[in-house]
Amino acid sequence: MILKQLLRQMIVLAMAGVVVGSAAALALTGLIRAMLFGIGATDPATYLSVAALLGTVVLLATYFPARRAMRIDPVSVLRRD
């Protein structure tokens, strides 16, 4: 339950980042075009692959630490402090 909620929150943040980043990239295509060689500034495959890579990184970076933190007994942590 907690793991699903945490993953959902991180996915929402990642999706917001993808939307804002894609909008900024599309708005700044004039600057980006001079730096790209061999692909267009609005290549959909590039945008989708970057979004998929970002989603994968967010899932991995959230899942493993959250799973490890769920193994800790909260009472024992509170007693230590």
31: in domain: no
77: in domain: no
Considering Cα of 55, then 56, then 61, then 63, what sign does the dihedral take?
Answer: positive
33-75 per-position pLDDT tens digit: 777 777 777 788 888 998 899 889 998 999 998 888 888 888 8
48: in domain: yes
Q: How many domains does the chain have?
A: 1
Question: Are the CB atoms for 35 and 25 separated by under 8 Å?
Answer: no
64: in domain: yes
5: in domain: no
Expressed as residue numbers, the domain containing 47 is 41-72
Higher confidence at residue 13 or residue 72?
A: 13
